[in-house]
């Protein structure tokens, strides 16, 4: 499946690899997370959409882990390790881990985040993006939930000829 060109220009996906390279050059991102993102771009190019969603979910979960480790280190000893061991790493599923991370981050740094105008971005961009990735991954990993909720038309399974009953 070829991606359509827009006005002769490369579609955003074809620019994704260069964006990942730029990200790596500007910072020191987590190697494992970057490996998942690079693989994600590759499988998307091959039209493997379910695998793309799964890898994007894995990359986002790794990012949450890396952020939690950074927060643990910033909190110092023994408080950081205590929080990480009891309030973060014991949480599952990942939505609870994200909530534990978000709650502690804002408890410690809310004024700084507001001053730098990052609180609104976190609430309006980061949280909904995480939720969308998590829900899309859950929809392919758990297609029929306990409530017999079925994936509605237009969801990932529908656009690639999914054979599951809908």
Q: What averages of pLDDT result for each successive group of 10 residues across the chain (166 residues)?
A: 49 65 72 90 91 92 92 93 92 90 93 88 89 89 59 43 37
Q: Can you give the pLDDT at residue 97?
A: 93
List the domain boundaries for the chain.
28-141
Calpha distance 142→101 (Å, rounded): 25
Helices 49-75 and 127-141: crossing angle in degrees, nearest 10, is 130
Q: Can you give the pLDDT at residue 108?
A: 92
Q: Can you give the pLDDT at residue 165?
A: 39
Q: What is the Cα 133 distance to its own chain's centre?
A: 6
Within 10 Å of residue 88's Cβ, how many Cβ atoms? Answer: 21
Q: Can you give the pLDDT at residue 17?
A: 67
DSSP state of 8: T
Q: Can you give the pLDDT at residue 143?
A: 73
H or E element at residue 111:
helix 94-115
Q: Which two tokens stand for residue 2?
A: 């070829």
Calpha distance 59→30 (Å, rounded): 10
């Amino acid at each position: 499946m070829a991606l359509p060109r827009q006005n002769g220009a490369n579609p955003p996906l074809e620019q994704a690899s260069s964006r990942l390279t730029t990200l790596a050059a500007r910072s020191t991102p987590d190697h494992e997370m970057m490996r998942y993102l690079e693989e994600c771009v590759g499988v998307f190019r091959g039209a493997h959409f379910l695998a793309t969603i799964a890898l994007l979910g894995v990359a986002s979960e790794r990012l949450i882990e890396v952020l939690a480790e950074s927060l643990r280190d910033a909190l110092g000893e023994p408080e950081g390790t205590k929080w990480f061991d009891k309030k973060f790493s014991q949480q599952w599923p990942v939505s609870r881990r994200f909530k534990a991370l978000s709650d502690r981050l804002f408890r410690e740094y809310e004024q700084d985040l507001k001053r730098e105008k990052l609180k609104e971005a976190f609430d309006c961009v980061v949280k909904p993006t995480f939720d969308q990735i998590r829900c899309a991954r859950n929809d392919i990993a758990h297609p029929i939930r306990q409530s017999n909720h079925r994936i509605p038309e237009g969801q990932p399974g529908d656009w690639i000829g999914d054979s599951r009953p809908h």
